[in-house]
């Protein structure tokens, strides 16, 4: 279990509900360029990119999809080729057999139940094969209708360090964040946390002396 900074936060920097506003504002100002790193041109490409991003890097996915999206433009295209051909086309993203099965199942459902379009509601997205809550949250947020808060490794780690949650399970962390983060910021909040985690609050060597949140963070070394 990670160390919980929630109690320490109340003593050192104040309750999380009082700190969340300044935390969001400062991170937005510090990382105005924070956005999704995946490259896509359509709702379908967004869905495919996020599905392929499991257990690999966004850079690797972008490298694969640059050619993939020239070949596969509609849901029908993913079903028109033999599975082993699609497997070869996404091989470099890892877990290519599972991802191929998920992609083909998702495309079939899009055609049969959604007229070939990507649904926007979370409850419909999570019904697609290979689409778990995190993937659904990413897609919904990028389509302009965030219905939850994406929790990846950076979001989990920084939320814990900031004393915003004492949980380790992503679903429970998301619930804690939903209670305090203004809904208008549900979509962008994960992005600024992710970029802050990459640039400043690095896992093994956090640069607390350069952090705009050091006076709001119970784990700050400053």
Catalytic residues: 134, 152
- Give just the sign of the alpha carbon dihedral 105, 130, 100, 191: positive
Tokens 């700190």, residue located: 19
Nearest CA to 130 among 74, 31, 49?
Answer: 49
CB 81 within 8 A of CB 9: no
What is the rounded distance in angstroms from the CA atom of residue 63 to the CA atom of residue 79?
22
Chain centroid to CA 93 = 17
What is the rounded distance in angstroms from the CA atom of residue 51 to the CA atom of residue 100?
10
Tokens 């964040």, residue located: 177
CB 113 within 8 A of CB 104: no
């Amino acid at each position: 279990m990670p160390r919980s900074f929630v109690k320490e936060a109340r003593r050192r920097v104040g309750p999380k509900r009082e700190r969340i506003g300044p935390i969001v504002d400062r991170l937005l100002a510090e990382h105005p360029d924070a956005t999704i790193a995946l490259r896509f041109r359509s709702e379908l490409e967004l869905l495919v990119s996020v599905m392929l991003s499991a257990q690999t890097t966004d850079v690797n996915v972008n490298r694969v999809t640059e050619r993939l999206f020239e070949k596969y433009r509609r849901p029908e295209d993913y079903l028109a080729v033999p599975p082993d051909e699609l497997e070869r086309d996404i091989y470099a993203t890892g877990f290519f057999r599972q991802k191929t099965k998920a992609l083909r199942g998702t495309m079939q459902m899009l055609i049969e139940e959604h007229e070939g379009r990507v649904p926007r509601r979370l409850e419909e997205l999570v019904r697609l094969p290979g689409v778990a809550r995190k993937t659904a949250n990413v897609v919904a947020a990028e389509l302009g209708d965030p219905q939850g808060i994406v929790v990846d490794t950076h979001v989990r780690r920084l939320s814990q360090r900031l004393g915003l949650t004492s949980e380790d399970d992503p679903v429970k962390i998301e619930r804690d964040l939903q209670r305090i983060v203004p809904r208008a910021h549900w979509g962008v909040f994960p992005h600024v946390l992710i970029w802050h985690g990459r640039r400043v609050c690095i896992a093994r060597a956090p640069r607390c002396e350069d952090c705009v949140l050091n006076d709001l963070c119970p784990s700050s070394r400053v």
